[in-house]
A and B are shown apart, each in its own frame.
Chain A
């Protein structure tokens, strides 16, 4: 499906139709010790009624700062507007007194944020938080405000809205919380809705629902949307017009089809090239079919107990992994995909001995018991999602890379240092930077440091747990390229864990699709992506936003995206799925 049928150039062609929101020469600067540093420079754009304008760019491009500047929510006192103006209708917003700005915020311009998990107040009920937003702008009796809040929850297709009003945010899933945020934003029918990465933190099927919801609401209410995103797929599906930003400046502005068909700026072209696309993986040729297995998992189970009652006995059990078997061949990239809570990361934790498991894990012919011998740990290394959080900020990166060698008592300080220099070159960093600290590097560089550290022990298997998910697309593409190159050079195998279908399709040889602790489909990349058989696999693939505005989305039924809980009462065991070989090792749950 393409964008809503709105006149794309309406604002430009019809002079009597004044833009709803106009930003002219906006400059936002941060006060640093060395004076004012611009975060956004000389940005101008307009927004017409009912239009969706996407502001796209990578981290540091100033896209979020722009939205906060429009809302008058820049973090004082360091960051402020130092030039230009923002006009809503006839009202000049820059320099408007706080009391008047308050009346506009949430009423005429509303905003939804990236992190639904942290954007709602944990100690207040959903009902309170919705109702107070309404009461802040309209003098209504409490009962009437509550009725309006309830109606807003119904408008965002929330199940059991009356019960939700009494619930607290922690009782709702991420997707439901984002619906609450949207309900809060649309409750007063604002003229402008700013959505700052509204689906980035959500699973792909939930993202699909939220995007559909935003589009439907816009069609019903005629709200103008500023959509801030790094995801070109989301841009292609949602936007009428696109602004591409880089380092605080607009590099290109075009209607969405023009932008994707004929990007003018070099940066836009690079950005679009870096976007992982479904279907590209098929071009790389099939991975070698049968290889000697390096890792073997048989009927792996990981459960967590919940205790309750007077004596703290186990009453419930979370079946995080409920009987999973697969092999990873020598030199193979095996990917596990699935949505949050499906148990894919728990498998990684079990393999490295961080989660107690039952069943069988064999690495390189060596069975792993509940206690992992130190030597066995050398064969498997982990790379995590957040490189900053997994690097000790008080250690130099050189020491960080050497640390695994120190722990395993390998080499002397001199040889370790030499090896670190060598590894740094291998991952594309300069060995001169060994004595610096993690904060001096960019996100992509930090992930390279993590990769160098994982390589230090010459492991056979590297588990990459969402290792590229937090990176900008252009950085992501380069890190994936690096992982591919290192695999051949070091003879590695990967267990690649990701929620991102497009990335998996690009890097994996074989793929396992997980749902509620079990594998529902397993096969080569070509089998799973080219001929998906399980309904859940199909749903995952269909939900991925396609970075092509001319792509026609086949309208499938809208399934509820809520995954049931893997928490079960003691004694209840999830029903085991039987995988059937439908040909050539392509296993599908029946």
Chain B
């Protein structure tokens, strides 16, 4: 187990190295010039050149990348070009909010998605099944800003159940995490339905019925743990999808997370922040997947981590 985790962590480090290289390269070849952003429109050519030299942006690509990497291994993410602050400080200040949002979203996904999926599977072929699957289809296909605005309008503006935006209490968390989670809930309900339908067809379910077990126990003890296995692997992947989603959701709800930070940085070509957010996200995705792989053996004894 320890050997497995260690091996996976080494793999993860290599993945992060690759991510850093590709992102750095893409930002290097990008036509947008960060120095122009820093210097402003009215700056002279000399000022621009000075800033360029100061930031080391006049160096060849590999030198720049090497410098960034050397800083990175010492825990130095660099300084923001525009915010005059350490990137690590900026991210550390905003990461908890985003993690909270993601946790809320995963909770929404699971509760909504699994419930809908299980009900649909049990009522397969009925009107309930069909309407649930239509609902999940809407969840999967609706753009997140539309869902966000809709939820805002209905539950915050019209009903006044939740605050319109901001950060602080549990009530603030509900609408943003629902918005972020609704896409995943749609996916999960479809996956859960097919997984559950498949599991209910298995011989061991027939055995459980032949034993005279109650329906409830068959469902919760025999079917659910088996049906949920493919979903767990998905949660790890989901964190990657969330990274795209939080940019939109955080803007709509004014949520002070790294999504907003990234969005601002991209507009202003603030390369150190973009790099930092990308690497932190990649880290979250890698760890999320590792976690999912570590949880699976606890549910499915056939899987042994090696």
Do A and B actually bind?
A: yes
Complex Cα distance A110/B211, Å?
Answer: 7
Q: A307-325 CB contact bits vs B (8 Å, 1 = yes)? A: 1111010000000000000
Q: Tell me if A107 counts as interface (CB < 8 A to partner B).
A: yes
Q: Which residue of the partner chain B has the closest CB to A308?
A: B306
Number of interface residues of A (CB under 8 A): 33
Taking CB atoms and an 8 Å cut-off, the chain A residues in 62-120 that contact chain B are 71, 73, 98, 102-107, 110-111, 113, 115, 118-120
Closest Cβ neighbor of A123 among chain B residues: B225
Contact B210–A111 (Cβ < 8 Å): yes
Q: Are A120 and B210 in contact (CB under 8 A)?
A: no
Chain B hits for A113, CB < 8 A: 203, 206-207, 210
- Any B CB within 8 A of the CB of A124: yes
Chain B count of residues within 8 A CB distance of the other chain: 26
- Assess whether B217 is in contact with A132, with CB atoms less than 8 Å apart: yes
Q: Name the A residues within 8 Å of B212 (CB-CB).
A: 102-107, 133, 136-137
Set A105, A137, A308: member contacting B210, Cβ < 8 A: A105
Contacts of B7 in A (CB 8 A): 310, 312
Chain B contacts of A121 at CB under 8 A? 204, 207-208, 222, 226
B306 touches A307 (CB 8 A): yes
A114 — nearest CB in chain B belongs to which residue?
Answer: B203
Quick one: given A123-B300, A124-B222, A132-B221, are A71 and B210 in contact (CB under 8 Å)? yes
Contact B208 A102 (CB under 8 A): no
Chain A residue with Cβ nearest B6: A310
Most buried by B among A73, A102, A103, A137: A102
**Interface core residue of B7, B211, B225 (most chain A CB under 10 Å):** B211
Chain B residue with Cβ nearest A104: B212
Min Cβ gap B225→A in Å is: 5
Tell me the minimal C-beta distance from A40 to chain B in angstroms.
Answer: 18
Contact yes or no, B210 A122, CB < 8 A: no
| Binding site secondary structure of chain A | loop
- Asked whether any CB of chain B lies closer than 8 Å to the CB of A348, the reply is no
Interface status of B67 (Cβ within 8 A of chain A):
no
The answer to whether B214 has its CB under 8 Å from any CB of chain A is yes
Question: Does A170 have its Cβ within 8 Å of any Cβ on chain B?
Answer: yes
Please encode chain A, from 352 to 370, with 1 for each CB lying within 8 Å of some chain B CB and 0 for all others.
0000000000000000000
Q: Does A383 reach chain B (CB closer than 8 Å)?
A: no
Asked if A47 is an interface residue, CB under 8 A from chain B, the answer is no
A181 and B207 in contact (CB under 8 A), knowing A121-B222, A122-B300, A170-B301?
yes
Given A121-B222, A123-B225, A307-B306, residue A106 in contact with residue B211 (CB < 8 A): yes
Q: Please, which residues of chain A bring their CB within 8 A of the CB of B207?
A: 113, 119-121, 181, 184
**B43 within 8 Å of A (CB atoms):** no
Known contacts A102-B212, A132-B221, A136-B212: A119-B204 contact under CB 8 Å: yes
B residues in contact with A308, CB < 8 Å: 306
Q: Does B41 make an interface contact (CB < 8 A)?
A: no
In contact, B306 and A119 (Cβ under 8 angstroms): no
The verdict on A45 contacting chain B, using a C-beta distance below 8 Å, is no
B3 interface contact, C-beta 8 A: yes
Instruction: Report B's interface with A, CB cutoff 8 A.
Output: 3, 6-7, 202-204, 206-215, 217, 221-222, 225-226, 299-302, 306
22 contacts between A and B (CB under 8 A): A98-B215, A104-B212, A105-B211, A106-B210, A106-B211, A106-B212, A110-B210, A113-B207, A118-B202, A121-B207, A121-B208, A122-B301, A123-B226, A123-B300, A123-B301, A132-B221, A133-B211, A136-B213, A181-B207, A184-B207, A310-B3, A312-B7
Contacts A106-B212, A132-B221, A133-B211 aside, 8 further interface pairs with beta carbons under 8 A come to A102-B213, A103-B212, A118-B204, A121-B208, A132-B211, A136-B217, A307-B306, A312-B306
